Structure 1
Amino acid sequence: MKNSVGNRRNRKNVTKHEKHDPNAPVWLWGTHAVMAALNNPDRVCQRLCVTKNAATKLNEINNLRATPEEMLPKDIDQILPRDSVHQGIAALFAPLPDLSVEDALDHRRIVVFDQLTDPHNIGAIFRSAAAFGFTAAILQTKNVPPITGVAAKTAAGAVETVKEIRAVNISRAIDSLKEGGFHVVGLDGGGDSDIAVAVSGAEKLAIVIGAEGSGLRPGVAKSCDQIASIPIERTMESLNASNAAAIAFYAASMTLRPS
């Protein structure tokens, strides 16, 4: 049985990334990401840039708490990182309220990221989490980039509904979850349980997703209650991390007790 997050025996070196700064404002872009953020009462918009065509979308906001700046597409291009597909709308937001692992205990379904770093994968996992009732995500404060434009656009608004929680140490965060009544399942190619069996019947569940290519770190895997994998055809070595996460979330949505 194999899954997306690789085998722990084939570990790669961790790439250094920008440290998470909970006080830094972030640029978001793209229609779904920006509109969702503008509708989020926890967001404070510091700057809103729109093209003439995109400005009509703002009529969908009941209480727009920002003054739009009408700009040409090329001028918005100059503000954002290269090759950002902004669809004529971008906004600078103050960071969301900083949440702790203790806040996670109020949730029933949580995803935990073990040094997953690709913003497209992170955004896709947030989107799948929202789709299948996972309402919080725990990420490490170091070695994991901030949730900014690329991840938010891929998430299509889910970063506004799935609460982002940062933890210094993922293993200790998992211990806190277990003390709070969570059944913690790590997703890894070397798992000895089928994911559908591992998540079955858990009233409070956390699914841990490992880094691209290297999977779960040994210490994190040891902290989990179970290590589970997704059975796939032998002709395929693995699944993408975000695809595997979506399958795991779906399995959980089919087996968890109703809210």
Structure 2
Amino acid sequence: MSRNPERNDRKAGKKPVFGNRPQTAPDGSKKGGWNPNPPTKSFADSTPRGPKGAKSDPDAFVWGRHPVLAALANPARKGMGRLLATEDRAAELERGNLNHGHKIEVMDVQALDRMLPAGAVHQGLVFKVSPLEGVALDDFADPAEGIIVMLDQLTDPQNVGAIFRSALAFGARGIIVQDRHSPALAGALAKASVGATEKLPCARVTNLSRALERLADLGWRAVGLDGDSEETLETALDDRPTVLVMGSEGDGIRRLVAEHCDVLAKIPMPGGFESLNVSNAAAVALYVATQKQADKGK
């Protein structure tokens, strides 16, 4: 299956609408793939940092070399935000034309530190820009093929970012989250994803159960991870289009979401220490699912 390494901006034909459609640009044109918040706010007049002691909103920033470079290369980001860099990083961007037309504002390390949450490792690169909003579910779910990851109320940015990274590495079509109970695709999450949030489509939906119903209509099979299940992931997965449903570490998959799964399965742990981090569990599940998909047609 061929995939665009950037945003999934496929719009061939009219499809049923599900979830949030990308925004329309001020000139009336449709923006493909990711569409950040409508550019109603201008960053041009904002100062590099607020008054002493002021706290910046981490959701308004992407920081770190890989996340910032991925954001700059995202066509949907063209002409948006403020690119802030140390002198050496600015020179690197200009040499490789990695700023993609964005004007570079040179700042010292201490000024960048003051803009970001304590401990943020920015590596001399900060991009002040609105968080990504997402695409419509059908944009990557129709036609049904491959793997999709659904996250049921995962709120830790580090875990969600790591899952984005694994999902992109294993060739997943996209990620589905519930709009009201998921962190913004910026800040620490974008940093943990190492740029994957800029390349992997994400649908933010109102109701996960209804999303699973829509996916079933399109031909997807939902496999939920549940440590208490009697069935193992190896036996539950096959080569059909698969939605891997991951629940939060504390509560797991919620009851109604679990009822909309075709099967619940566990990752067997013969070592007897059943405490895999949810992002690690997602990576294992993606690996097994990918192997099953590779068996198709053999």
TM-score exceeds 0.5: yes
SS at match of 1:172: helix
Contact 2:131–2:186, Cα closer than 8 Å, also in 1 = no
- Number of the residue aligned with 1:33: 67
Determine the C-alpha separation between the residues in 1 that align with 2:242 and 2:60: 30
- Stretches of structure 1 that go unaligned for 5 or more consecutive residues are 1-21
2:204 counterpart letter in structure 1: R
2:95 is the alignment partner of 1:81? no
Deviation at 1:95, TM superposition (A): 4.2
- Number of the residue aligned with 1:91: 127
- Number of the residue aligned with 2:207: 169
Contact 2:83–2:104, Cα closer than 8 Å, also in 1 = yes
2:136 is the alignment partner of 1:100? yes
Taking a change above 3 Å as real, the CA distance of residues 212 and 201 of structure 1, as seen in their structure-2 partners, is same
Deviation at 1:36, TM superposition (A): 0.8
> What are the superposed Cα offsets for residues 63-110 of structure 1, whole Å, 9 maximum, x if unpaired?
622100000011011212222110000002244464122223236321
Alignment of 1:127-142 (within 5 A): 127-142=165-180
- Number of the residue aligned with 1:19: none
2:223 is the alignment partner of 1:185? yes
Task: Give 1:150's match in structure 2, choosing from 182, 185, 188.
Answer: 188
> What are the superposed Cα offsets for residues 193-239 of structure 1, whole Å, 9 maximum, x if unpaired?
2112222221x111011012211001110110110110003530221
- Stretches of structure 2 that go unaligned for 5 or more consecutive residues are 1-35, 39-58
SS at match of 1:145: coil
Determine the C-alpha separation between the residues in 2 that align with 1:188 and 1:55: 47
- Number of the residue aligned with 2:108: 72
SS at match of 1:82: coil
2:60 is the alignment partner of 1:46? no
SS at match of 2:76: coil
Determine the C-alpha separation between the residues in 1 that align with 2:247 and 2:86: 39
SS at match of 1:86: coil
Alignment of 1:162-241 (within 5 A): 162-202=200-240, 204-241=241-278
From the CA coordinates, give the structure whose radius of gyration is larger. 2
1:134 counterpart letter in structure 2: A
SS at match of 2:77: coil
Judge which range, 110-119 or 186-195, deviates more: 186-195
2:147 is the alignment partner of 1:112? no
Taking a change above 3 Å as real, the CA distance of residues 60 and 97 of structure 1, as seen in their structure-2 partners, is farther
SS at match of 1:138: strand
> What are the superposed Cα offsets for residues 113-134 of structure 1, whole Å, 9 maximum, x if unpaired?
0000100000000000011111
Judge which range, 170-179 or 40-49, deviates more: 40-49
Determine the C-alpha separation between the residues in 1 that align with 2:272 and 2:92: 46
Judge which range, 160-169 or 96-105, deviates more: 96-105
SS at match of 2:81: strand
Determine the C-alpha separation between the residues in 2 that align with 1:214 and 1:63: 42
Determine the C-alpha separation between the residues in 2 that align with 1:102 and 1:40: 21
> What are the superposed Cα offsets for residues 126-180 of structure 1, whole Å, 9 maximum, x if unpaired?
0000111112000111121111121111111111221011001111111111111
Determine the C-alpha separation between the residues in 2 that align with 1:103 and 1:197: 30
Determine the C-alpha separation between the residues in 2 that align with 1:244 and 1:61: 38
Contact 1:132–1:249, Cα closer than 8 Å, also in 2 = yes
Aligned CA RMSD, in angstroms, stands at: 2.0
SS at match of 1:110: strand
Report how many residues are paired.
Answer: 237
Q: Which has the higher strand share?
A: 1
Determine the C-alpha separation between the residues in 2 that align with 1:174 and 1:30: 35
Task: Give 2:91's match in structure 1, choosing from 56, 60, 85.
Answer: 56
Determine the C-alpha separation between the residues in 1 that align with 2:101 and 2:117: 25
Contact 1:184–1:224, Cα closer than 8 Å, also in 2 = yes
Contact 1:115–1:211, Cα closer than 8 Å, also in 2 = yes
